[in-house]
Structure 1
Amino acid sequence: MSYRQNDVLIPESSYIRFNDVQLKKYYFNDVLVWQRQQKVYPGIPVAKTQNLGYGPYFTVTNNGSDIKVDAFGGTERGWGRAILGPFSSIGYSKLYFSALRAYITNAFSKVSVSLGDINGNWVQRLIYHDTGESLGGYDVTFGSGDIFTINSANGNYYLILEVDSGATSRGLNAVIQMNGCYLL
C-alpha cells in the first residue's frame, strides 16, 4: 500500500525513515498505513521454460505483466514449467500474489507454484493440487489476502510455475495465470 504525506506519494517499494532508521512498516494511531514490499513479478524475467511432456501440449505466454502457463492433454501428457528469476528474498519473510489463478479440468493433472532453483528443484511449495483420478474441477484464485510464509533462510530464489495435464482425447488442461507477485 502506498502512503501519501504532505502531497508526497511514498510507494511501497520505497523507504520511510524515522530517526535515521529505515522502517518496513509505518503505523499511525495504531493503524498500518504503509508497508514496504518488493515486486517480484512483473519485473523478473522468465529465466527458463522446461517442456517435460509432449511438445505441442505445453505453452507459456508472457506479455511482461501477465504470464500464463498451460498444459493440455492430447494423445500424450502435457507437462512443463516456467521458471522466473532470480530474485532475492533477503529481508522479507512473506509473499503474496495480486492475482494468481490455478485451474484444472482434467484427471491425472497437477498445478504447483514453488520457490526453488534454476533447474526446477523446489525448496518450498506454496501452492499444490493434484486431481488424481477425479475429473478436474479445481479452480482457485489467490489474491493479496492470501499470504504465504517463506520458510527457508535462503535469499536467492526462482519462482516455479508448473502444470501437468494427463493425456486425454478431449483436450482438457491445467493452467496457472499470474499477474503479480510481491514480497513482504
Structure 2
Amino acid sequence: MAKYDKADIERRMHGAVESLKGDLSGLRTGRANTSLLDPVVCEVYGSMMPLSQVATVSAPEPRMLSVQVWDKANVSAVEKGISKANLGLNPMTDGQTVRLPMPDLTEDRRKDLAKLAGEYGEKAKIAIRNVRRDGMEALKEDEKKKEISEDDRKRSEDEVQKLTDKHVSDTDEVVAKKVQEIMTQ
C-alpha cells in the first residue's frame, strides 16, 4: 500500500474535475463550440485519425462550425467521420471547407443533454470518492505500521474529507453551470 500523500490526492481529485469539464465541453448547447468535434475520427491514409490531425476546426459564427480540411483527398472522409459521430450535424461541403450549421435544440434534446451532464457529474464524484477511499486506506496503513500516530491519522483524514467536499462542490458547480447553459441557449 502506498504511503499517504496529500498532494497526490489533491492532484487526482482535481484531475477528476478537469476531466469532467472536458466531457461537458463536448455536450452541445445552441452555440458552436470547436470542442464538439473533438471525438470525431476519420478514416484517412488507411487508418483512423482524429479530426484535429487532418483539418482545422473554427467557429466563424455563433451558430456555425467550419472545418478546413488540409488535403483535398480527405474531404469526403471528414464528412463521413462527422456523420458517423452522430452529433446531429449536417455537413455541407464547399471545396476543402466543410460547414456545419448548428440546428436549434428541441426541448426534449435539451433535457436529454442536461441529464447526460448530470451523469457525467456523478461519474466525476465517484472518481473523487474513490480517491478519498485510497487516501483513508493509506492513512490507516501508515498508522498500523506505526509511521504516524492516531491523532495524525485523524487530522489527515479531516484534510482528505475537506478536499473531497471541495471537489464534490466544484463538480456540482460545473454541472449546474453546464445544465443552465444547455437549457437557455
TM above 0.5, yes or no, is: no
Task: Report the TM-score when normalising by structure 1.
Answer: 0.24
Q: TM-score, normalized by length of structure 2? A: 0.24
> Larger % of strand: which?
1
Identify, as 1 or 2, the structure richer in helix: 2
